[in-house]
Amino acid sequence: MLRVPASAAERYDDGVAFKAVARDANGVIVTILSDNYFGYCKKEVKSYISYSANLFGLCEEEHAGGALLFTREQVMDSGWYAERLRARQAVATRQWRSQPGYLERFLTKPNYASEAARLGIPVRLEAGRREYARVSSEHHREELRGTLGAEPAIVAPPP
């Protein structure tokens, strides 16, 4: 999670340059470059543009050396970022809306009554309902600030 510095003068990691790369199971790669000179990462940026074009297919990569740089505040205050947080909240809301239904159906089966008691299903059902209320609240979107959110294009609207 991104941490907002106490002041604009505060330097992350004592001003030492670093690179963090993560890749998820879908092949989505996120790279965070922290440096005081953008020129050091130009080849890295060009490599990612080329890689993305190859993955997308039927397109050509063109990079003339220009780049847009945004501060953390600009990104986190943008409509683009707000959409990613809405998408992440939609994913969580959909997940937690469906989870209690599974547990409720389990509880309706009389032959599973002793197993439901052993597993604490009624307690889990209540916890699931509380979690659904939490993730569907407006407050939860604020809790998501600092995360990557989710790609809106791949999040189908809730039914």
Residue with structure tokens 């501060």? 71
pLDDT of residue 23: 75
147 or 157, greater pLDDT? 147
The tokens for 78 are 């943008």
Instruction: Please report which confidence band the pLDDT of residue 2 belongs to, taking 50, 70 and 90 as the band edges.
Output: very low
pLDDT of residue 66: 54
Which residues, including other chains, have CB under 8 Å from residue 4's CB and lie 6 or more apart? 72, 146
Residue with structure tokens 């050396």? 65
What is the DSSP annotation of 41-68?
A: GHHHHHHHHHHHHHHH-S------S---
**Once rounded to an integer, what is the mean pLDDT over residues 8-27?**
67
CA atoms of 133 and 15, how far apart (whole Å): 41
Q: In this predicted model, what pLDDT tens digit does every residue of 104-156 receive, in sequence order?
A: 999 999 999 999 999 999 999 999 999 999 999 989 999 999 888 888 887 76
Instruction: Please report which confidence band the pLDDT of residue 63 belongs to, taking 50, 70 and 90 as the band edges.
Output: low
Which residues, including other chains, have CB under 8 Å from residue 134's CB and lie 6 or more apart? 140
Can you say whether the dihedral through the CA atoms of 51, 56, 61, 63 is positive or negative? negative
The tokens for 77 are 């205050």
